């Protein structure tokens, strides 16, 4: 494994601490990421798996003298190979990089979650079962018999309430006990014999055992792939593509493919179902037997439907009120962000103006170093913080609250029918809502789509969503100077373009849209510790990466202004910016800067106005502000987003999207400009 973590710490004796490598595995939305955040705090790295487009979350911590390296695997429902996430997770689990698995299970949905657990058991990797959301289960007057669960699985089974940190560190304590039970010379884990719960029906079990025997005849070859023979036999029967490749690559074992094919046909003929349905049914039969033994309902009384959570759930998924609430939520996001950002931005702007008066009185307003260092550097800092960061932080905060409370899946449910018009299902609304914060994770999040067609459409739609950087430009210019009506006008055009582009892609791109399959958890009170950490993790990227860049570009801009070096660039772009869009000639270079980060267009524009002794209202007319913001909203997303789109699809598609969005932005911007001229001359 290529580690992105810092060097291991040493103990008091100066020796490196023993490392325990843990993989968090489980279905989507079971609380893996919450446990990961509780354990690792801010000691995390985010990247991709080597050679893959799947996101990798890795973190570390010191605990009781051990150094824990923890990887949060993608949320998956099975160990099949229907998706890249499943392939990556399966390969990593059986690799030498994993000492132990913590299988996170949603206590409120044992049946579905244990299906994945049964598949993990077949891999024979040391494992702890973490039963999460026990607080919700207890509210339902339901108890689990943990002693019976441990007796059945012969593995540690621990209750957890991840959002409150209950039981989280006990998982590490149990992991240490398992590791310390290994012999000093070799990691030996006596994996329990689980024949009683892993065995299938007689016909299926006989075929699996016979195929396992055939596979074991060539153990020297098979052992290089780390998979247990029984797991390989099951996957051969299921016609698993990745496992088929293993057997196709060796002459001695190639015959096993044909044997599995014959066994599969016999079983399918006998049961009258396809092999995946047969094996899934066998697993669920075992799961039902376990649930009957371990789930105990304390009270037979029905849970009242009039609880607050139930009423909120009913309203937010209602065929009428659900959409009203969704509209209010989206409007509320922008209203909250605008109100907080505008208030804080105004305070910082006033502070900068007061400090500027002192600096100008002391050193002179025309001093070249004052212009470069104060106007450019310090002005760039205040512009970035007061014009961007004050909007970014409250926006990410409100998005995290919505996500942690459980509202976003409801939004996906409501938008399913609308999204089908654009060739995708309702799940696309989740990355699109994330796109309101940043298009980069939004486009990366499109990997949750089931088909390549849906993923391609989703990345286009998500890239067109006005991100927090665009929102700061629009709110800092049109919102601040022209008011709410024109702000809504711009967003109406933006989302109309999204709908139109989606319709066109749906009609022109071959294939059909799949149906939405998604689980909606109960509403819960957000955990503000988790929310604050996630808000900081999202915001610090701007602070660490964009803020220094803005300061450097602010200084560079002042130097270029003093040298009058911007004029040639602006003159070249004048046919587009001045004639077609009707903008001031100086805006040309700023639109280019916006490809790096969209908020730079406003920050640098403000720096320019300040250096010229003008306000933004004096530099630009209201119609120019509207056109400038509209073009900024619609033209090519920032370069980082283009790179992510290329990773999710390919570079050709990413460049096609960029060209399409530039064309749409210039076309609409020009039409608004000439439409204004036409109506004002009537």
Q: What confidence tens digit (pLDDT) does each residue in 203-224 have?
A: 888 999 999 888 888 877 777 7
Residues 264-274: what's their mean pLDDT?
A: 89
3-state helix, strand and coil shares in percent for the chain, rounded to the nearest 5: 65, 10, 25
Instruction: Measure the CA–CA gap between 638 and 292, rounded to whole angstroms.
Output: 54
**Burial level of 117, CB count in 10 A (0-12/13-18/19+)?**
buried
Instruction: Measure the CA–CA gap between 413 and 307, rounded to whole angstroms.
Output: 21
Judge contact between 41 and 124, C-beta under 8 A: no
Instruction: Measure the CA–CA gap between 34 and 18, rounded to whole angstroms.
Output: 25
Instruction: Measure the CA–CA gap between 372 and 379, rounded to whole angstroms.
Output: 9
Q: What confidence tens digit (pLDDT) does each residue in 466-518 have?
A: 887 788 788 888 888 888 888 889 989 998 999 898 888 888 887 666 555 55
DSSP state of 217: T
Provide the H-helix boundaries in 165-307.
Answer: 168-180, 195-198, 202-216, 219-222, 229-237, 241-248, 255-271, 275-294
Q: Would the pLDDT of 148 be above 70?
A: yes
- 613: three-class secondary structure by DSSP: coil
Instruction: Measure the CA–CA gap between 597 and 600, rounded to whole angstroms.
Output: 6
Write the CA distances from 62 to 33, 40, 59, 591, integer angstroms. Answer: 19, 9, 11, 47
Instruction: Give the pLDDT score at 146.
Output: 93
Domain ranges of the chain: 18-180, 199-272, 321-681
Helix or strand holding residue 58 (H, E)? strand 55-63
Biggest alpha carbon distance in the chain?
Answer: 93
Structure tokens at 610: 């300040």
- 570: three-class secondary structure by DSSP: helix
Residue 5 banded pLDDT, cuts 50, 70, 90 = very low
Residues 6+ apart with CB under 8 A from 144: 107, 131, 134, 137, 159, 294, 295, 296
Helix or strand holding residue 132 (H, E)? strand 127-132
Q: Would the pLDDT of 625 be above 50?
A: yes
Instruction: Give the pLDDT score at 54.
Output: 61
Give the bridge partners for 624, in sequence order: none
Q: Sheet containing 127-132: which strands, arranged edge to edge?
A: 44-48, 55-63, 66-72, 18-26, 100-106, 127-132, 157-159
Write the CA distances from 218 to 212, 226, 248, 250, integer angstroms. Answer: 11, 14, 14, 10
Instruction: Measure the CA–CA gap between 148 and 293, rounded to whole angstroms.
Output: 8
What number of residues does the chain have?
A: 682
Q: What confidence tens digit (pLDDT) does each residue in 409-429 have?
A: 787 778 777 777 777 767 777
Closest CA to 494 of 392, 590, 598: 598
- 69: three-class secondary structure by DSSP: strand
Judge contact between 28 and 132, C-beta under 8 A: no
**How many degrees, rounded to 5, is the angle at CA 145 between CA 141 and CA 148?**
165
Q: What confidence tens digit (pLDDT) does each residue in 550-572 have?
A: 677 678 767 876 777 767 888 88
Domain 18-180: assigned CATH number: 3.40.50.300
Residue 44 banded pLDDT, cuts 50, 70, 90 = low
Instruction: Measure the CA–CA gap between 242 and 213, rounded to whole angstroms.
Output: 20
Instruction: Give the pLDDT score at 301.
Output: 53
Q: Would the pLDDT of 142 be above 60?
A: yes
Judge contact between 488 and 497, C-beta under 8 A: no
Structure tokens at 498: 């999204």
Q: For strand 66-72 and strand 44-48, is the pairing parallel, antiparallel, or unpaired?
A: unpaired
Structure tokens at 266: 């016999």
Judge contact between 261 and 291, C-beta under 8 A: no
Q: What is the mean pLDDT of the chain?
A: 80
Q: Would the pLDDT of 184 be above 70?
A: no
Instruction: Give the pLDDT score at 23.
Output: 92
Instruction: Give the pLDDT score at 594.
Output: 74
Residues 97-108: what's their mean pLDDT?
A: 91
Residues 537-555: what's their mean pLDDT?
A: 71
Judge contact between 192 and 154, C-beta under 8 A: yes
Instruction: Give the pLDDT score at 117.
Output: 93
Q: What confidence tens digit (pLDDT) does each residue in 289-348 have?
A: 999 999 988 765 544 455 677 788 778 888 888 889 888 887 887 678 768 877 887 888
Please count the other Cβ atoms lying within 10 Å of the Cβ belonging to residue 296.
11
Instruction: Give the pLDDT score at 319.
Output: 80
Q: What confidence tens digit (pLDDT) does each residue in 365-397 have?
A: 778 888 788 877 887 788 777 766 777 788 778
């Amino acid at each position: 494994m290529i580690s992105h973590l810092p060097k291991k710490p040493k103990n008091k004796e100066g020796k490196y601490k023993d490392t325990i490598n843990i993989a968090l595995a489980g279905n989507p939305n079971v609380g893996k990421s919450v446990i990961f955040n509780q354990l690792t705090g801010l000691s995390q790295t985010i990247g991709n798996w080597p050679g893959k487009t799947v996101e990798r979350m890795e973190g570390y911590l010191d605990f009781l003298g051990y150094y824990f390296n923890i990887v949060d695997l993608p949320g998956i429902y099975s160990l099949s190979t229907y998706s890249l996430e499943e392939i990556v997770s399966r390969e990593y689990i059986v690799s030498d990089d994993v000492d132990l698995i913590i299988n996170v299970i949603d206590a409120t949905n044992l049946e579905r979650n244990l299906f994945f657990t049964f598949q993990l058991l077949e891999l024979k990797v040391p494992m702890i079962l973490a039963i999460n959301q026990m607080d919700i289960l207890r509210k339902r007057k339901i108890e689990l018999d943990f002693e019976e669960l441990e007796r059945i699985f012969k593995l540690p089974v621990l209750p957890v309430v991840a959002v409150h940190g209950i039981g989280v560190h006990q998982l590490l304590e149990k992991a240490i006990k398992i590791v310390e039970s290994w012999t000093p010379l070799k990691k030996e884990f006596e994996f329990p014999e689980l024949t009683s719960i892993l065995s299938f029906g007689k016909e299926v079990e006989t075929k699996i055992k016979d195929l396992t025997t055939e596979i074991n005849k060539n153990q020297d070859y098979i052992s290089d792939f780390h998979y247990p023979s029984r797991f390989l036999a099951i996957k051969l029967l299921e016609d698993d593509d990745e496992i088929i490749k293993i057997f196709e690559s060796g002459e001695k074992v190639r015959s096993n493919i044909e044997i599995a094919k014959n066994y599969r046909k016999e079983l399918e003929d006998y049961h009258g179902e396809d092999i995946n349905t047969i094996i899934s049914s066998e697993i669920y039969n075992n799961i039902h037997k376990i649930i009957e033994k371990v789930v105990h309902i304390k009270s037979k009384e029905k849970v009242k439907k009039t609880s607050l959570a139930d009423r909120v759930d009913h309203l937010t998924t209602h065929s009428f009120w659900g959409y009203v609430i969704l509209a209010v939520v989206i409007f509320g996001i922008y209203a909250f962000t605008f109100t907080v950002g505008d208030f804080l931005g105004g305070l910082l702007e006033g502070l900068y103006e007061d400090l500027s008066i002192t600096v100008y009185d002391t050193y002179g307003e025309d001093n070249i170093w004052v212009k470069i260092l104060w106007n450019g550097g310090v002005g760039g800092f205040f512009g970035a913080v007061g014009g961007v960061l004050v909007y970014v932080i409250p926006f990410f905060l409100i998005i995290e609250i919505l996500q942690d409370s459980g509202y976003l899946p409801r939004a996906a449910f409501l938008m399913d029918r609308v999204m089908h018009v654009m060739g995708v299902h309702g799940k696309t609304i989740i990355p699109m809502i994330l796109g309101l914060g940043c298009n980069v994770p939004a486009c990366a999040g499109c990997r949750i789509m089931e088909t390549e067609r849906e993923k391609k459409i989703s990345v286009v739609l998500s890239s067109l969503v006005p991100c927090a950087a665009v929102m700061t430009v629009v709110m800092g210019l049109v919102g601040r100077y022209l008011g709410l009506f024109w702000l809504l006008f711009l967003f109406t055009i933006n989302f109309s373009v999204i709908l139109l582009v989606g319709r066109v892609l749906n009609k022109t791109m071959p294939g059909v849209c799949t149906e939405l399959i998604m689980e909606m958890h109960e509403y819960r009170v957000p955990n503000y510790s988790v929310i604050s950490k996630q808000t900081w993790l999202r915001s610090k990227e701007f602070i660490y990466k964009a803020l220094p860049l803005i300061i450097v570009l602010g200084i560079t801009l002042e130097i270029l202004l003093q040298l009058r070096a911007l004029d040639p660039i602006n003159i070249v772009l004048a046919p587009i910016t001045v004639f077609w869009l009707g903008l001031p000639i100086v805006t040309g270079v700023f639109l280019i800067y916006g490809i790096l980060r969209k908020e730079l267009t406003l920050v640098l524009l403000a720096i320019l106005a300040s250096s010229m002794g003008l306000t933004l209202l004096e530099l630009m007319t209201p119609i120019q502000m509207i056109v400038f913001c509209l073009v900024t909203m619609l033209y090519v997303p920032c370069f980082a987003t283009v790179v992510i789109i290329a990773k999710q699809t390919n570079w050709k598609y990413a460049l096609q999207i960029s060209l399409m969005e530039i064309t749409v932005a210039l076309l609409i911007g020009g039409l608004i400009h000439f439409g204004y001229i036409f109506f004002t001359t009537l």
